[in-house]
Chains A and B, each alone.
Chain A
Amino acid sequence: MGKIKIGMVSFEHMHALSYAKALSKMEDVEISGVADSDMYRGTQAASMFNTKYYQDYRKLLETPVDGVVICTCNKLHMPTVIDAAKAHKYIMVEKPFATNTKEADAMLKACRDNGVKMMTAFPLRFNQAVIEAKKQIDRGDIGDILCITGINHGKMPSGWFLDINKSGGGAIIDHTVHVADLMRWFTGSEVKTVYAETGNMLYNTGIDDCGILNVEFENGVFATIDTSWAHHKNYPIWPEVYMEIIGTKGVLKVDAFKQVERIYSEESGEITDDVWGSDGDEGLMREFVNTIKTGKEPSETGLDGAKAMWIALAAYASSKSHKVEKVVYGG
């Protein structure tokens, strides 16, 4: 079997860079093209990964790539995914999956209709600490899960993230999906209802940058998710992904980016926590490549991405109504 050919569709979302780096380390993978409507950004990336540049992603889809990693802005996920599915490419789409139900339904349908497997970029499912925590809970170390406190803090992004026409929302849609996905995975249950307090609170941008969700699962587990872009510029690390899981027989806390060393640099004038721990991006990309090779269902799918997005949409509804809202799964 020759190398698996992967096309990178857009570097608009900065995660594309770490995904491409992960792919470039794999001996059985070839990054066979970069498509980006932004010529400067696209050619930069293409030269970094020593591959061909396409301004129009549809040209890339015409080449014999096996799969595409889509890191456009959130609003462009739908048209890109549909075109890729029609071209029979396997798909990895950046989170959040989409920005509304109509888009999500169309994306899922396109993949179904064309027999294409799709994954959502949930690298935390491939974070070593998260995997270990899941394993220990599954074997009953803390008994049955009763409730979870979840936090996904990060720094304030810039550019299209703050443009609701491109992002579909702020911190709520950006950050809910990671922890919501982990909670679904850990509990094996679906979120029934959401109550949320959110707002544009820290930065005068007009887009939600803080939020706390209260979610209830069908199996009775309840949880909160703090989705705030709460880390200021000089905070020592960008991400924080944390869950405190209360069980009938114990408590387990998992902090996905805790394996750090602290650097006090007079040179940069900064104090930074540099992660030495495992990178979920590599595991995520490996799963995608394996899915292409085997044609089997991946361990997480586009539908998982859509479900996490629907939880975020319910949070937006609740923050408007100030009421507990049911999660509406699909149109």
Chain B
Amino acid sequence: MLKVAIVGAGTMGSVHSNSYRSVRGAKVVAICDIRPDRATKAASAHGAKCYEDYDMMLRNEKIDVVDICLPTYMHKGFALKAISYGKHVFCEKPIALSIGDAREMVDGARNRGVKFSVGHVVRFFPAYAKAVKNIKEGKIGIPKLIRTTRAGAYPSWSWNNWYSNYDCSGGPMVDLIIHDIDWIRYNFGDVERVFARDLYGRKIDNLDHCLITLRLKNGAIAHIEGSWAYPKGSIFGTTFEIIGTKGQIEFDSRSSAPIKKYVPNGDAVRTSIESPMFPDEEPYTMEIQKFIDCITENKKPLVSGEDAIKALEISLAAVKSARTKEVVLPGGDN
């Protein structure tokens, strides 16, 4: 049984904590957060210990895996420390804010001989995985045009509103649509050219939106839309549309949600949707299970550090394109 410590008990930390209840071969033994109430809440389901001090946790606890669910700008420091203690590291996406930082993390883990993976969880979302399976079975021929969207309200709920500081989060092109970028690159091919636009610098509070066009090396075109422009309370949703030489696949998380609920909200109505999944088919559980299995079976993680770096390269190329309004080739000095 691998012993896991979760660092950061915010939104993603809580999601991961919940997922570990269904993960085989691992147990959460410690949760670290500077907010004791958040740590206590997440720890209760596991009977785990709570820490405010990361170093103290690493020194005191017998831990095999550190699961980092902190704001992006903290990833490198916390990952390198865990690696120095010889812990396997699972890190939330995006891996880091610069290729240099990401490279240090990946190289550090390799040199220390520990497993390292990043939470590019979209690969594990059932609809996305099924589309890939259908394409591999040849149902739509060769994929040529890929459109994805990922849209919701501005994440102003975050701790200290850290998402709004792009030096901390990278903004939607680095934080949000890196999900789609990894999924597209991993399943459909490496990227030749990037063109992107966003609303950075328009000085509109709590609003951003980005449109990215990718040309893949195999000739396919991808259009990725990421939005933090929907009004507060809007239902978050993702879509994809893949057009191949022999057919097409379409998915919309909102219209395929089997549960829609309408409850009174004063004179208005509050609408919500849900797509329930069995615990062991739940994507966050599956990504963590896969990482735990790769440790116990001594295999390579499905999402490698190199994958995470490649996704970040494309995101950073998109940022550069949006700033310069020019086409950018990813992997250069962005």
Contact = CB atoms under 8 A, between A and B. Distances in A.
Same complex for A and B? Answer yes
B211 A195 contact: no
A322 B328 CA distance: 10
B271 interface: no
B144 interface: yes
A230 B243 contact: yes
B145 A201 contact: yes
A216 B207 CA distance: 19
A197 B207 contact: no
Given A202-B243, A232-B246, A224 B199 contact: no
B229 interface: yes
A300 B193 CA distance: 37
A323 B229 CA distance: 28
Contacts of B18: none
B204 A149 contact: no
Scoring A197, A231, A324 by chain B CB atoms within 10 A of each residue's CB, the highest score goes to A197
A228 interface: yes
B211 A214 contact: yes
A224 B213 contact: yes
A193 B145 CA distance: 23
Given A201-B219, A202-B245, A147 B145 contact: no
B327 A228 contact: no
A214 B197 contact: yes
A195 B219 CA distance: 16
A264 to B, nearest CB: 18
Interface residues of A, number: 32
B223 interface: yes
Nearest to A230: B243
Contacts of A193: 325
Q: How big is chain B's contact interface, by range?
A: 20 to 34
A94 interface: no
A228 B197 contact: no
Given A232-B246, A232-B248, A324 B327 contact: yes
User: B-side binding surface: helix, strand, loop or mixed?
Assistant: strand
A201 B209 contact: no
Contacts of B227: 246, 251
A212 interface: yes
Contacts, number: 90
Interface string A211-246: 110101000001110101011100100000000101
B327 A235 contact: no
B213 A201 contact: no
Nearest to B207: A248
Contacts of A248: 204, 207
B214 to A, nearest CB: 8
A216 B322 CA distance: 12
Scoring A201, A203, A322 by chain B CB atoms within 10 A of each residue's CB, the highest score goes to A201
A230 B145 contact: yes
B247 A214 contact: no
A197 B221 contact: yes
A324 B327 CA distance: 8
User: A-side binding surface: helix, strand, loop or mixed?
Assistant: strand
B221 A146 contact: no
Interface in B215-248: 215, 219-221, 223, 225, 227, 229-231, 234, 243-248
B326 interface: yes
Contacts of A216: 197, 325
B194 to A, nearest CB: 10
B220 to A, nearest CB: 8
B325 A324 contact: yes
Contacts of B247: 232
B144 A202 contact: yes
Contacts of A322: 193, 327
Given A146-B202, A226-B147, A197 B225 contact: no
A211 B223 CA distance: 10
Contacts of A202: 144-145, 243-245
A27 B290 CA distance: 70
A319 to B, nearest CB: 10
Contact of B229 (A195, A210, A228, A246): A246
A147 B197 contact: yes
Contacts of B20: none
Contacts of B204: 146, 248
Interface in A246-262: 246, 248, 250-251
B195 interface: yes
A283 interface: no
A211 B221 CA distance: 8
A199 interface: yes
Contact of B326 (A146, A201, A210, A324): A324
Given A147-B197, A212-B221, A324-B327, A230 B248 contact: yes
Contact of A214 (B144, B213, B225, B246): B213
Given A228-B243, A235-B248, A246-B229, A214 B195 contact: yes
A235 B147 CA distance: 17
Nearest to B204: A248
A200 B161 CA distance: 45
B327 to A, nearest CB: 6
A267 to B, nearest CB: 23
Nearest to B234: A251
A197 B213 contact: yes
A199 B221 contact: yes
Interface string B182-208: 000000000001010101001010010
A323 B327 contact: yes
What 5 pairs between A and B have smallest CB-CB spacing?
A201-B144, A222-B197, A230-B243, A246-B229, A246-B209
Given A146-B199, A246-B199, 12 more contacts: A146-B229, A197-B215, A201-B219, A201-B245, A202-B145, A211-B221, A212-B213, A226-B145, A228-B243, A230-B243, A250-B231, A323-B326
10 contacts: A146-B199, A199-B219, A201-B145, A201-B220, A202-B245, A223-B211, A231-B248, A246-B227, A246-B229, A250-B231
